[in-house]
């Protein structure tokens, strides 16, 4: 069958470096870190006392206070970025067939803050099981997709994806497939997580997964550097408006980029550790490139998963080397997590946005926090990691990787827009 072309016509974002897609992009290009000491709770007794928090977020311009109380922070983020992306897209919702518009949303943890608050409240009580009647809908990872559909009256397909750190990348891959197969004309897709909580920090600390560089929060996320000691937990959200090209063309939409390929694999190796042979990561890139109908040599830029963990960075680079060979020296690689930290289920959507805007503007954001005296003998520094500052260059194809706990791998390929 003839598959439909899929384009991106709107973007919204809330991240530790910006409260809109534009603010986030400008901060990424400028090499600005959004990591700081935690303000949401007293973290003084934790091994990690910093994170990437969204700053100054107020949902009440969109939601009244009664509705705010019914939604966990991650879901508030979700509807906010969906609104920004819809407005950016220029869709005239009064004249659209909303039964052909839907939502596919990713979240790794769902309403973690709500679950934590309710359990703590119960533990402090008299043993009588009293819970907020909205505890369950506030907690489940699927409520964000449902709430976006409700708020904007979208009657098309609606579901959620939860694959840890890969959640929003899997959601985007699913949206791509649903549109090119003709099951929808427009999909709001992306993801959100708000895990900078006592449980989030404590749980990841117990796994020894987080950086403990409390004396230098902004320098703590340092992918591809020898002194990396774990990832930085962050919160955020991003939404892409993905649209059938013919539908977008008919309404005269502006187009940011075209999505051309996706890949999904499993490591089938370990609950939290990457496969040291990087077989799943290698295959997921090969599948995405094959799906796009291009060669590895066509890729100009990779936004790496690049979490700043001792094992993860090495495994990903091994996979990239295996896929691209000597072309690895012709590409730009970066890790925008060096600035945003790791937003768990939102990370794939934010990093897809970085790829899309990099293609549009011909600019690769930097990887910050690396110095020449902090080089790992396991890493080939002839590779262009875009250290220090953004780099302008012609870009036609960009690829982004996300790898989640449980071995869930997703890879997405975008192309610079051209008819």
Residue 9 token pair: 């016509």
- Rg, Å, the chain Cα set: 20
Residue 220 token pair: 């703590």
Residues 6+ apart with CB under 8 A from 194: 54, 72, 73, 74, 77, 112, 113, 235
Q: What is the largest CA-CA distance in the chain?
A: 66
Question: pLDDT of 49-75, one tens digit each?
Answer: 999 999 999 999 999 999 999 999 999
Active site residue 270: no
Model confidence at 3, pLDDT cuts 50, 70, 90, reads: very high
Question: pLDDT of 276-322, one tens digit each?
Answer: 999 999 999 999 999 999 999 999 999 999 999 999 999 999 999 99
Question: pLDDT of 204-252, one tens digit each?
Answer: 999 999 999 999 999 999 999 999 999 999 999 999 999 999 999 999 9
Return the closest-CA partner of residue 180 out of 287, 111, 258. Answer: 258
Model confidence at 126, pLDDT cuts 50, 70, 90, reads: confident
Model confidence at 130, pLDDT cuts 50, 70, 90, reads: confident
Active site residue 208: no
Residues 17, 366 contacting (CB under 8 angstroms): no
In the chain, domain spans = 7-250, 261-416
Which residue has better confidence, 381 or 129? 381
C-alpha–C-alpha distance, residues 270 and 280, integer Å: 12
Predicted pLDDT at 293: 98
Per-residue DSSP letter, 378: T
Residues 344, 109 contacting (CB under 8 angstroms): yes
Fold match, 7-250 / 261-416: yes
Residues 6+ apart with CB under 8 A from 322: 278, 282
Model confidence at 81, pLDDT cuts 50, 70, 90, reads: very high
Q: What is the CATH number of domain 7-250?
A: 3.40.47.10
Question: pLDDT of 347-402, one tens digit each?
Answer: 999 999 999 999 999 999 999 999 999 999 999 999 999 999 999 999 999 999 99
**What's the chain's average pLDDT?**
97
Predicted pLDDT at 125: 86
Active site residue 239: no
Residues 317, 379 contacting (CB under 8 angstroms): yes
Question: pLDDT of 255-276, one tens digit each?
Answer: 999 999 999 999 999 998 999 9
Measured CA distances, 402 to 22, 218, 266, 327, 399 (Å):
23, 22, 12, 21, 10
Residue 370 token pair: 């690396």
Residue 127 token pair: 């043993």
C-alpha–C-alpha distance, residues 338 and 239, integer Å: 21
C-alpha–C-alpha distance, residues 401 and 280, integer Å: 11
Residues 80, 12 contacting (CB under 8 angstroms): yes
Measured CA distances, 412 to 2, 29, 60, 177, 381 (Å):
21, 21, 34, 12, 25
**DSSP labels, 358-374:** HHHHTEEPPBPS--TTS
Beta bridge partners, 202, equal none
C-alpha–C-alpha distance, residues 168 and 176, integer Å: 12
Backbone dihedral angles phi then psi of residue 47, each to the nearest 5 degrees: -65, -30
C-alpha–C-alpha distance, residues 413 and 401, integer Å: 9
Catalytic pick from 170, 305, 370, 408?
305
Residue 300 token pair: 């100009």
Measured CA distances, 182 to 18, 86, 101, 263 (Å):
34, 21, 12, 19
C-alpha–C-alpha distance, residues 340 and 318, integer Å: 24
The SS3 assignment for 7 reads strand
**DSSP labels, 111-174:** SHHHHHHHHHHHHHTTS-----TTHHHHHSTTHHHHHHHHHHT--S-EEEE--GGGHHHHHHHH
Return the closest-CA partner of residue 344 out of 106, 27, 6. Answer: 106
pLDDT at 1 over 90: no
Model confidence at 128, pLDDT cuts 50, 70, 90, reads: confident
Mean pLDDT of 342-351: 98
C-alpha–C-alpha distance, residues 86 and 242, integer Å: 10
Residue 84 token pair: 């920004």
Predicted pLDDT at 171: 98
Model confidence at 127, pLDDT cuts 50, 70, 90, reads: confident
Beta strand pairing call for 186-193 and 257-266 = unpaired
Predicted pLDDT at 67: 92
Neighbours of 117 (CB within 10 A): 19
Give me the percent of the chain exceeding a pLDDT of 90. Answer: 96
Give me the percent of the chain exceeding a pLDDT of 70. Answer: 100
Catalytic pick from 170, 239, 247, 342?
342
CATH superfamily of 261-416: Thiolase/Chalcone synthase (3.40.47.10)
Predicted pLDDT at 151: 96
C-alpha–C-alpha distance, residues 311 and 307, integer Å: 10
Beta bridge partners, 169, equal none
C-alpha–C-alpha distance, residues 308 and 211, integer Å: 9
């Amino acid at each position: 069958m003839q598959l439909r072309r899929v384009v991106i016509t709107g973007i919204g974002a809330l991240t530790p470096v910006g409260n809109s897609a534009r603010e986030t992009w400008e901060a990424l290009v400028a090499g600005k870190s959004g990591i700081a000491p935690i303000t949401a709770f007293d973290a003084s007794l934790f091994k990690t006392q910093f994170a990437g928090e969204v700053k100054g977020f107020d949902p009440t311009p969109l939601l009244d206070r009664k509705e705010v109380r019914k939604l966990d922070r991650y879901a508030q983020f979700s509807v906010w970025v969906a609104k920004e992306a819809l407005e950016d897209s220029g869709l005239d919702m009064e004249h659209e067939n909303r039964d052909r518009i839907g939502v596919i949303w990713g979240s790794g943890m769902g309403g973690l803050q709500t679950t934590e608050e309710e359990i703590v409240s119960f533990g402090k009580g008299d043993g009588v099981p009293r819970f907020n009647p909205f505890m369950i809908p506030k907690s489940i990872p699927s409520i964000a997709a449902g709430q976006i559909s409700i708020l904007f009256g979208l009657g098309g397909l609606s579901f959620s994806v939860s694959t840890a750190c890969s959640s929003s990348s899997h959601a985007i891959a699913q949206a791509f497939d649903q549109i090119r197969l003709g099951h929808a004309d427009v999909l709001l897709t992306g993801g959100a997580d708000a895990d900078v909580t006592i449980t989030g920090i404590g749980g990841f600390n117990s796994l020894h997964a987080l950086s403990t560089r409390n004396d230098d929060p902004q320098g703590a996320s340092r992918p591809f550097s020898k002194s990396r000691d774990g990832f930085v937990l962050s919160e955020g959200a991003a939404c892409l408006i993905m649209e059938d090209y013919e539908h977008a063309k008919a309404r005269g939409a502006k187009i940011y980029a075209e999505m051309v390929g996706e890949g999904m694999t499993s490591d089938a190796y370990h609950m939290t550790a990457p496969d040291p042979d990087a077989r799943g990561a290698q295959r997921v890139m090969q599948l995405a490139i094959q799906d796009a109908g291009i060669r590895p040599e066509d890729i100009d830029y990779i936004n790496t998963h690049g979490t700043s963990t001792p094992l993860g960075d090495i495994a990903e680079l091994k996979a990239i080397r295996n896929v691209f060979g000597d072309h690895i020296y012709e590409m730009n690689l970066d890790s925008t997590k060096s600035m945003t930290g790791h937003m768990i289920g939102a990370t794939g959507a934010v990093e897809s946005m970085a790829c899309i805007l990099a293609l549009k503007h011909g600019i690769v954001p930097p990887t910050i926090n690396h110095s020449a005296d902090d080089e790992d003998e396991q890493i080939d520094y002839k590779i262009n990691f875009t250290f220090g500052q953004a780099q302008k260059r012609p870009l036609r194809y960009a690829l982004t990787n996300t790898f989640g706990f449980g071995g869930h791998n997703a890879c997405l390929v975008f192309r610079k827009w051209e008819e």
